[in-house]
A and B are shown apart, each in its own frame.
Chain A
Amino acid sequence: MGLTTIDWVIMAVYFAFVLGIGAALKRYMKTSADFFLAGRSIPAWVCGLAFISANLGAQEVIGMGASGAKYGILTSHFYWIGAIPAMVFVGVFMMPFYYGSRARSVPEYLRLRFDEKTRGLNAISFATMTIFSSGISMYAMAKLIQTLHFLDAPFRRFGIPQAWIFHTGIIVSALVVLTYIYLGGLTSAIYNEVLQFFLIIAGFIPLVWLGLKNVGGWSGLKLALGPSYMHSWVGLGSPHTNRLGVEWFGLTMGLGFVLSFGYWCTDFLVVQRAMAADSMASARRTPLIAAVPKMLFPFLVILPGLIAIALPTEPPAILNGPQGSALRAPAGQGLIPAKLDATTGQPVLDSSGRPQLDYDLAVPNLLLHYFPTGILGLGLTALLASFMSGMAGNVTAFNTVWTHDIYEPYIKPNAGDAHYLMMGRLATIFGIALSIAGAYLATRFNNIMDMLQLVFAFVNAPLFATFLLGMFWKRATGHGAFIGLLSGTLAAAAHHALTIPAEAIPGVKGGWLSVLHTYPSEMAQNFWTAIFAWTTCFVVTILVSLVTQAPEESRLVGLVYSLTERPQEGNLSWYKRPAYLGAAILGVTVLLNFIFR
């Protein structure tokens, strides 16, 4: 692979800017509110782009390309059903309570609305989750650098063992993210996310353009792939007639309602970006502004996957095996190679003996395929940017929740502001140190990561029921919320323990107690786990609330819909009003679904 000086210079310039932004913002970080909330002074469009960019991590750029190659246009449901409606909802209906309550974090809102134990539960599970997410992001980045072999030559030249490529990837990315957040706090993370947003777009537009031109445009793509790849709704009547293995009800309820609203409306990682806005109107516009690029991202991140699989299959490549030995890989499909086992170097076969494809390489291989040196540096910078923005989002969410929701209430209450500011900086350091530990844990025990992901899914799935009842039903009580959340998590675990996706072995994939039901795909099982968890939490919260003492209404002003004054927006021009914007965004989304049905 031909990286030349110009590619290295481009990457170096990017790193210099990322660190420079942190350094330039350092002098503005005077109070803990500056550090954790960006002083609530960021304009709406900046918050909006950061909102979307914090979510535009590696999992998104690499993962959505991989899903595009695997499932086709159906992947767009993760955007059009699985994000846009929830983003509109959080902007129009929920942001007034997050921003208006003056809570500094999502767990803190739970304390104001419910009680201390509900907040503690949410804070601790969320903090753990952010650490592991950023660890996984770091691991994925180091792994990708290793797989693409673009550090092999320089390492060989300086006589550094090749095994250090992985360590270098982890350490360098950790240090860069650490430095810019330590210096500039949330502002620095947000500013860098906006920069990363534009870089990702700048790297991916020419890729999609060249790829589409090459395969003969949209019609060429259609011709090469066939109808099963090219429709988002046709075939969703039954799980057996589409590539996802899910039917429309599981998709709209599981993904479109429970999972998507649970993530976009309650995950502090994204909500924090809106809470940094300079006014209530800006905070409400943040997710709506974010929804516009989000709506169009399928064309940027899913299309590369489709193009990669549509291209003529290349003859099996000679790969660099361990210690420079040559391995002949089995044929993949299009630009996507067969998956090789990390330890043995042998191809991984599925249950019917065919080699599995390594879909995660769809996007990186497409970059290498079309980009000559020069713009290749830009493309790799875009990938690095996406990894770092995903990591940084988790780290800033962690340091805030740690300081405000764990350290301040339970470890050292009533210390001065300067102390909490210092704790935020310290939390950045040990948050990143723990992420590094998480990244190495992932290299050692792949299953541990899978299991953790699963536990988080159990914890998260019911959460939206708690917020929905908390914000829109003044009778919901703290005991109700807490017991509801726990039961929802238990319901998720029980559902997972009793069902299994087709062709899986009981264990981490499900069915570890007994198998009562077999789902046609893993995705269908996930969606239904979420539906069960949400419904249980919703019902139990209502029942327990009704038998426990109602909260005092005076305490709930500003926290519950019926007791809160509607935000004034009469002085805003129509295109800045959240309700109008939201309706327009939903309209365009429906149109997109119709066009690509």
Chain B
Amino acid sequence: MGLDIRLPIGMIFAIFGIMLIVFGVFSNPALYAQSLGININLLWGSVLLVFGVVMLFLGARSMFGPRPAGAANSQGREPRH
């Protein structure tokens, strides 16, 4: 299938990550009494962003990478995705 699923996944996680980081930085610290005093938006947003970027990288490498188009389905090797 022409679309590598890692691209949309990477995109949505990067977007969520950035949103949570920005919100975490500017939000009222009193909000985090609920989450045991941990700024969970900032913390988890960073994790999501890292995951998103890794997925984007992997997806982009397989879709637009240097490998010639015909090589993926050549004999004896499983398709790369």
Some 14 contacts from A to B, beta carbons below 8 A apart, are A9-B19, A14-B12, A17-B8, A17-B11, A28-B2, A46-B81, A191-B3, A195-B12, A210-B40, A370-B34, A372-B32, A374-B19, A374-B40, A378-B44
| Nearest CB of chain B from residue A3's CB, rounded to whole Å | 13
Chain A interface residue count: which class? 35 or more
Q: Which residues in chain B, 26-48, are within 8 Å of chain A measured between CB atoms? A: 27, 31-32, 34-36, 38, 40-41, 44-45, 48
Task: List residues of chain B with CB within 8 A of the CB of A187.
Answer: 1
Interface residue B79 (Cβ < 8 Å from any Cβ of A): yes
For residue B23, which residues in chain A have a CB less than 8 angstroms away from its CB?
Answer: 6, 374
Complex Cα distance, B72 from A279, in Å, reads 14
The residue that A371 contacts in the complex, of B5, B12, B35, with Cβ under 8 A, is: B35
Contacting pair B8 A21 (CB below 8 A): yes
**A520 at interface (Cβ–Cβ under 8 A)?**
no
Q: Which 10 A-B pairs have the closest CB atoms?
A: A43-B81, A374-B41, A372-B31, A374-B23, A17-B12, A206-B44, A191-B5, A372-B34, A6-B23, A375-B40
B 39-66 binary contact with A (CB < 8 Å = 1; else 0):
0110011001001000000000000000
Q: Do A214 and B9 have beta carbons less than 8 Å apart?
A: no
A13 to B78, CA, bound (A): 34
Min C-beta distance of B66 to chain A, whole Å: 20
In the assembled complex, A10 has its CB within 8 A of some CB on chain B: yes
With a CB–CB cut-off of 8 A, which chain A residues contact B11? 17
Instruction: With a 10 A CB-CB cut-off, give which of A46, A187, A194, A198 has the most chain B CB atoms.
Output: A198
Chain B: CB-nearest residue to A373: B31
In angstroms, Cα B31 to Cα A371, docked, is: 10
Quick check: is A358 within 8 A (CB to CB) of the other chain? no
Q: Which residue of B lies closest to A193 (CB)?
A: B5
Contact A370 B35, beta carbon cutoff 8 Å = yes
Q: Which residues of A contact B41 (CB under 8 A)?
A: 372, 374-375
Q: B56 to nearest A CB, angstroms?
A: 13
> Which B residues fall within an 8 A CB radius of A?
1-3, 5, 8-9, 11-13, 15-16, 19-20, 23-24, 27, 31-32, 34-36, 38, 40-41, 44-45, 48, 51, 76, 78-79, 81
Work out how many contacts link A and B, with CB atoms closer than 8 A.
100
Instruction: State which of A39, A195, A369, A378 has its C-beta within 8 Å of the C-beta of B20.
Output: A378
Cα A20 to Cα B32 in complex, Å, equals 34
Q: In the bound complex, what is the Cα–Cα distance between A202 and B35 (angstroms)?
A: 16
Q: Return the chain B residue nearest A203 by Cβ.
A: B44
Interface membership of chain A positions 371-387, coded 1 if the CB is closer than 8 angstroms to chain B and 0 otherwise: 11111001000000000
What's the nearest-Cβ distance from chain B to residue A138, in Å?
24
**A213 on interface, CB distance cutoff 8 Å:** yes
Question: How does the 8 Å CB contact mask read for A17-59 relative to B, with 1 for contact and 0 for none?
Answer: 1001100110010000000001101110110000000000000
In the complex, whether A282 has a CB less than 8 A from a CB of chain B is: yes
Give complex CA distance A195, B12 in Å.
9
Checking A10, A41, A375 against B1 with a beta-carbon cut-off of 8 angstroms, the contacting residue is A41
Report the Cα distance A202→B19, complex, angstroms. Answer: 15
User: Which A residues, 334 to 388, have Cβ-Cβ distances below 8 Å to chain B?
Assistant: 369-375, 378
| Interface contact A13-B12, CB-CB below 8 Å | yes
Contact A375 B20 (CB under 8 A): yes
In the complex, A571 has a CB within 8 A of chain B:
yes
